[in-house]
Amino acid sequence: MSFGKIPLDSIPGIPIGDCVICPEVGEDDAVLIADKPYIVTHSDPITESSDDAGFLAVAVSCNDVNMKGVPCRWVLTTILLSKRENLEGEISGIREACSIIGCHVVGGHTEVTRGIDNDIVISTAISLSEKVISVKDARAGDYVVMVGSAGIEGTWILSHMEDLLLSKGVSKETIIRAKEFKKRIIVQDRALKVSDVVIGMHDATEGGVLQDLLEISRLSKLRVEVDPSKIPVEKETLEISKVLSIDYLRLISSGSFVVVTRFPEEVIRRVGGSVIGRLEKGEPALYLKGIGEFRENFEEELIRVEGNYNGWRKRN
């Protein structure tokens, strides 16, 4: 096997565009027009996924940019391949995500890397904004609305453990439906529809909805009081979580996000969702009605299923 950099002209189908000067052979830089006062950026690595690493890298990095109420415009993608024959699959995933989101690749690096077992794809998402929105601006009394359902990405990941699920009695039909959850991981359309009626937004990733809510508490410096029975969850997630004895509220949930708002009815009218709680005065903490108060980080539930599960990666 040969290792090292793969030249750009040997990588077909990269969705390059939306730049004054775009990268090409002999042109290592991209020149972009920044026509708004704020630049929004976020990076995510997909380090141990054997399925759709390219798609996930673009999707989840853009999701974070969307939490600032703006569409993702550009991505930089670094692809470290465990073997050359994986190239088309990773590029196909990047192309798919960019097509759905409407963003373009404006740089990156691709190589076959010695000593890795799985492909690693790192995406940096970039956008521009006229304003800044942040949960830091929340105040006591603001509403907490969840858009999407708990454990979306985790359910999709677990659906690929088909033999394990079938052995525990999960039906083939449930697994097929769970595999369709991939289509719901990208949040851009929903986030943009409510960006003018929110104080801030935060997407739910590792540690699930509970970690998301805890981080909102810390950032706002307020107590988050939530009724866990109000948190939306799909029947496929419930069934798979039950047979694996995991807590879907601590299951990686890209595809869902939490909104802090003073207009909960309008958020729900536009994109659906559920009012699950409110911010209150008090020391930063997450209070779950009927359960108790939490201040420490929540461990991702997929670790308990498989220490090196299909799709695991560390992300901020």
Whether residue 172 lies inside any domain: the answer is: yes
Task: Using the Cα atoms of residue 174, residue 176, residue 311 and residue 233 in order, give the sign of their dihedral.
Answer: negative
Domain count of the chain?
2
Per-residue three-class SS string for 52-64: CHHHHHHHHHHHH
Distance CA 114, CA 132 (A): 42
Cα–Cα dist 123/223, whole Å:
33
Q: Is the pLDDT of residue 310 over 80?
A: no
Beta bridge partners of 42: 125
Instruction: Please state the pTM of the whole predicted model.
Output: 0.92
What is the domain-level CATH number for residue 184?
A: 3.90.650.10
* 149 and 122 fall within a common domain: no
Interatomic CA distance for residues 64 and 127, integer angstroms: 11
What span, in angstroms and rounded, lies between the C-alpha atoms of 199 and 78?
Answer: 33
Does one domain contain both 115 and 264? no
Tell me if 48 is assigned to some domain: yes
Cα(124)–Cα(78) distance, integer angstroms: 9
Q: How far apart are CA 67 and CA 191, in angstroms?
A: 7
Is pLDDT at 193 greater than 60 in this prediction?
yes
For residue 125, what are the domain limits? 4-129
Please report the beta strands in 118-249, taking only residues with DSSP state E, as ranges in sequence order: 120-129, 143-147, 200-203, 223-226
pLDDT tens by residue, 207-250: 999 999 999 999 999 999 999 999 999 999 999 999 999 999 99
13-24 per-position pLDDT tens digit: 899 999 999 998
pLDDT bin (cut points 50, 70, 90) of residue 188 is very high
Query: What three-state secondary structure class fits 44?
Result: strand
Task: Show which of 95, 129, 163 is a domain's final residue.
Answer: 129
Residue 277 lies in a domain: yes
- The Cα–Cα gap between 90 and 287 comes to 41
Tokens at 56, concatenated: 């996930």
Domain end point (choices 129, 158, 183): 129
- The amino acid occupying position 178 is A
CATH code for the domain of 37: 3.30.1330.10
Is the domain of 103 the same as that of 250?
A: no
Domain boundary (104, 129, 154) is at 129
Looking at the fold, whether 140 and 286 belong to one and the same domain comes out as yes
Q: Is-contact 246 157, C-beta < 8 A? A: no
Do 107 and 144 lie in a common domain? no
Is 78 found in the same domain as 57?
yes
